[in-house]
Structure 1
Amino acid sequence: MNTLFIFVGGHARQNNGDSGIGLCYHTDPRGEPFFEEAEYIGLETQNSTVYHAIIRALNRASEWHFKDVQVYLDNRLVAGQLNENMSVRAQNIIPLYDRIKKLAEGIERFTISYVSADKNRRSRELAKSAAIASPDRITAQAIEFEVKPGINGLVMAFTPKMMVVRFTYQEGTWIDFHSHYHEQASYLTKGLLKYVVADQDILMTPGAALVVSGNSDHKIEALEDTTEIVIYSPMRWDLLNIS
């Protein structure tokens, strides 16, 4: 029986404030996740966000027909409640608790385990990022990051469904073959960039545009100092670093 390992996180910016969930799905808990997701879920408490994340996890497990599901979280209270070591008293939690118990009936083996925050860091980061991304607004926030020496990114604006990022490349730098489930549309404003997609070399000059489908392996090489604008759909949660 294949086992689905899911690390879940929830974050509320304030109690009953903007909130998000983050989940990392593995078939090997020591390896890289095969799928990640994050979502803004409105106004919630810190504990209720974790319950919502577990509900999402169980719905995914059912959708993918997994019968052995192990969920990991760093919230001691929620882990204790779902393992029936602690009572559930909060009125907003009781229906979420009942829903999880109902969903778990459709799974042959379901476990909840507490892990340290360090071991659950990735899902926590996803949840924190999602908490600032309300679908009702476009967030314009300059978030700088380094891809590797000579290649830098600047998140310019985002909603949960899209993100605009500016990349700058020094001549001679490159990003080796990689893929992500996001579709990307690239526009060059300066320089010369070579994409390798489906064994084809594609040269981009200023004013050129290129769309790369989700999960498509591609390589990028800067033939000159280059500036590129990329629109990701949906947004790249992994490019945000929200404290």
Structure 2
Amino acid sequence: MPAPAAFFLQETIEVEDLGGGIKRQILGFDESLMVVKVWFEEGSIGYLHRHPHTQVSYVESGEFEVQVGGHKKILKAGDSFYIAPNMEHGAVCKKSGVLIDTFSPYREEFLDKEIG
């Protein structure tokens, strides 16, 4: 991977439509860390899944029913949640909103082309 860019300007970064009312924008990354902004329409679902990355997500806006390791909680703007590597997790958007996801190490599969 080439050296990461120092600055990522929102208007120059592609927003990827993932379908099902979910869009994603990679805000910055290097080999050890990635920050991603994810928009959810009301009713959209981040289906239960797992990955080997550590994840911390911040609820920027909206309301989400988040499930981590079999435990569910309603989270609103200002709340956050932690996901250990390989822990099953998912979310249902109750009110349209945005999550800011951080991953360590970076999600290589999110990069289908270079950014920055």
TM-score of the pair, normalised by structure 2: 0.86
Gaps (5+ residues) in structure 1? 1-130
Partner residue in 1 for 2:8: 140
Work out whether residues 20 and 45 of structure 2, in 8 Å CA contact, stay in contact via their aligned partners in 1: no
Residue 194 of structure 1 and its aligned partner are, at CA, apart by 1.2
- The yes-or-no answer on 1:235 pairing with 2:106 is yes
The 2-side partners of 1:147 and 1:154 are apart by 10
More helix by share: 1
Q: What SS does structure 2 have at the residue aligned with 1:224?
A: strand
Residue 146 of structure 1 and its aligned partner are, at CA, apart by 2.4
Residue 156 of structure 1 and its aligned partner are, at CA, apart by 0.7
Percent of residue pairs identical: 23
Partner residue in 2 for 1:178: 49
More strand by share: 2
Gaps (5+ residues) in structure 2? none
Aligned AA (2:72): D
How many aligned residue pairs are there?
111
Structure with the greater relative contact order (CA < 8 A, sep ≥ 6): 1 or 2? Answer: 2
User: Aligned runs of 1:18-97 on 2, under 5 Å?
Assistant: none
Work out whether residues 150 and 170 of structure 1, in 8 Å CA contact, stay in contact via their aligned partners in 2: yes
- The yes-or-no answer on 1:207 pairing with 2:40 is no
Residue 138 of structure 1 and its aligned partner are, at CA, apart by 4.3
User: In angstroms, what is the RMSD of aligned CA positions?
Assistant: 1.8
Relative to structure 1, the CA distance from residue 170 to residue 161 in structure 2 (aligned partners, 3 Å threshold; closer, same or farther) is: same
- The yes-or-no answer on 1:153 pairing with 2:24 is yes
> Larger C-alpha radius of gyration, 1 or 2?
1
Partner residue in 2 for 1:187: 58
Partner residue in 1 for 2:68: 197
Partner residue in 1 for 2:94: 223
Work out whether residues 138 and 158 of structure 1, in 8 Å CA contact, stay in contact via their aligned partners in 2: no
Aligned AA (1:155): I
TM-score of the pair, normalised by structure 1: 0.43
Work out whether residues 15 and 24 of structure 2, in 8 Å CA contact, stay in contact via their aligned partners in 1: yes
Work out whether residues 157 and 163 of structure 1, in 8 Å CA contact, stay in contact via their aligned partners in 2: yes
The 2-side partners of 1:139 and 1:160 are apart by 16
Residue 181 of structure 1 and its aligned partner are, at CA, apart by 0.6
